[in-house]
Chain A
Amino acid sequence: MTLLSEVKKDYGKLKNFVNGEWIDSTSGKYIDIENPTTGETIGQVPMSSVEETKAAIDAAHEAWWAWRETPPITRARLFFKLKEVMEPHFENIARIMVQEQGKTIDEARGETRRTIENVETAAGIPTLMMGYNLEDGGAEGIDEDAVISPLGVFGAVCPFNFPAMIPYWFWPYAVASGNTYIIKPSSQVPLTQNYLTSLVEKAGFPPGVLNIVNGSHEVSDTLMEHPKVKGISFVGSTPVAKYIYKKSAENGKRVQAQGGAKNSLVVMPDAVLDRTISNMLASFYGCAGQRCLAGSNLVAIGDVAEPLLKSFVERSKKIKVGYGLDESVNMGPVISAKAKKKVIDYIDGAEAEGAKVLLDGRNVKVPGYEKGHFVGPTVIDNVTPDMKIAKEEVFGPVVGYLRMNNLDEALDFIHSSPFGNAASIYTQSGKLAREFRYRCQCGNIGINVGLVAAMSYFPFAGYKDSFFGDLHGQGQDAVKFFTDRKVVITRWF
């Protein structure tokens, strides 16, 4: 099969987008952007300085009041325009994502669609941010109103696994609500977001309303410390989420910080095995296991364990690993050599603890892509709840196989984890499914669905160490995060 063409071989030195202008970073520091499949350098991203970040914050702050005074329907119109501008670029967005992140073209197209869906949902802002009132709510002749108001400048610190979508969980809702925004894309995958921002520019958003500052912790720390920034959105690992939450809160900011995960998929004896396995393959191996919603532990209940394992391993062997621009590839590489080493260390560690590697992806080779950071599908049997592989986030295509006697045991195991991002059950029993969704202390619950990815009009939830904050990204939650309720009590003499 012929590879789909790359949008560009080399994207050169990226610029920041501040106050409606693409400007070169003055820091003089750049790092290479690597294609994780080929190992080739495909561009350089600036490590912007504290001063450059402050300049972007000032620009966003200056733009804020005029934008806040722009009627919601006019703001919404720009999001309709943005959707219209994005659609013809759909394939380019997806292909750039494959180049810099390594996911498959199907996954990248799916992510592009979800990105656009967030723009579509934010375009409903006149309805989404309506307030409420009560005549005579204060006393006779005294009315009370709750007005929903924007707050100012917000910022996002973004991860490498969803280069397009995750910034769009936040900024469209913030900006549609009347705030201004600064995105710091992941320095490993900045190309997609920079490309998308060129489309935002084409759509005609006023200068300073959306800004991109590329870089590393200097940018993030400045966003978290600066008094003009009202809140921070973050997605990444739990240790960093905790740091962001603490530091931002110390500086009086709103925070929504999504952390790591260790998601279990529980298969009951009455599950429809064929469909269950197809669905689980997507959960465990999609994006090479680098989703915060990826399945990680496969928990087999009772006598389903043996037939499920046999069939799951057989079908895992058929997963085709390669360059995501080949449409017949099922799984791409992990993001970097460092990430690959970490995944392999976890597999080695599981073996050392007594687990049995039934399908071993450690030495997978993809002809033509010898420099790619590939780990093949890996299934580890005889995993027990006390093992590191059962407890810690691997972020790779590795399945820990556990056997348990009943749903109670499975729930106890899930609840023993510090994480609470997602969990799924596969069953034909409505009663068991209901019990699972009722009792399970995770933010995203799947019933015969292994990838519980909330659509743009629902919040992307998360409990315990998987989320720090109270209002999530996407939909109504996002609008609430980016606005406040102003109460007005009125009496006329």
Chain B
Amino acid sequence: MVECDFPECNTFGSVIRFALELEKGASGVYEEFAEEPKAAPAAEMFKALAAAHKKRGELLEHTRQQKLNEMILEPIQDMDRNDYMIDTRTPKGVDAKAAAMFAAKIEETSAKFYLDAAKIAKMLMAEAARIMDKLGKESLANKAKLESM
């Protein structure tokens, strides 16, 4: 199981922190599935997705450091973290199909988080919004790929 610490989503920093926790959780789940013997046929795909989520985390760190504009650091009061928390308790002994379905739920929740966050960020920072939107769309594509297995 991957330990995540999801904060409230009421500041720019906490939204990015939430996103980083999502990425850590997703990448950890994929790594665990990649080691699951019964899911071996999908191991390469899971490894690739784990790496992709780590890279997304780096992009988010970069966004936090480079895109933050102090002038428009408004409190965020429209996001409820309970809508976006993911289950990272990876089931054991599952086959590739079941693992993919589990991961698809994570991608679905991530996509919802990023697309909602993008709408809020759009009012504050266009570049951060674009990145959130990109990550949301990527998650939707990952979900479709996993569900088609």
Contacts and interface: CB of A to CB of B under 8 A. Distances in A.
Contacts of A275: 123
Interface stretch (A45-53, A77-85, A296-304, A325-333): A325-333
A328 B72 contact: no
Contacts of A87: 65
B10 A279 contact: no
Contacts of A431: none
B75 A278 contact: yes
A328 B74 contact: no
Contacts of A451: 70-72
Interface stretch (B11-19, B47-55, B100-108, B139-147): B11-19
Interface string A268-281: 00000001001101
Nearest to B5: A2
B86 to A, nearest CB: 16
A50 B17 CA distance: 47
B68 interface: yes
A111 B10 contact: no
B103 to A, nearest CB: 26
B75 A319 contact: yes
Interface residues of A, number: 33
Nearest to A91: B65
Contacts of B74: 278-279, 281-282
Contact of A328 (B14, B69, B123): B14
A107 interface: yes
Given A1-B5, A104-B11, A105-B13, A113 B73 contact: no
Contacts of B5: 1-2
A16 B38 CA distance: 64
A267 to B, nearest CB: 16
Contacts, number: 81
A315 interface: yes
Interface in A89-105: 90-91, 104-105
Contacts of B123: 275, 278
Given A1-B14, A328-B14, A110 B68 contact: yes
Give the interface residue-count category, chain B. Answer: 20 to 34
Contacts of B10: 318, 320, 328, 330
Nearest to A324: B13
Interface in B44-95: 64-66, 68-75, 77
Nearest to B61: A91
B4 to A, nearest CB: 11
B73 A282 contact: yes
A105 B12 CA distance: 10
A359 interface: no
Given A1-B14, A110-B68, A327-B17, A286 B73 contact: yes
Contact of B14 (A110, A282, A327): A327
A326 B11 CA distance: 10
B8 interface: yes
Contacts of A449: 71-72
A275 B77 CA distance: 12
A109 interface: yes
Contact of B70 (A1, A318, A319, A453): A453
A315 B77 contact: yes
Interface of A: 1-2, 87, 90-91, 104-107, 109-111, 113-114, 275, 278-279, 281-282, 285-286, 315, 318-320, 326-330, 449, 451, 453
14 contacts: A2-B5, A91-B65, A106-B11, A113-B69, A275-B123, A286-B73, A315-B75, A318-B77, A319-B75, A320-B10, A326-B7, A327-B14, A330-B75, A449-B71
Given A109-B13, A109-B64, A110-B70, 20 more contacts: A1-B8, A91-B65, A106-B13, A107-B73, A109-B65, A113-B69, A113-B70, A278-B74, A281-B74, A282-B74, A282-B75, A315-B75, A320-B8, A326-B7, A328-B8, A328-B9, A328-B14, A330-B11, A449-B71, A451-B71
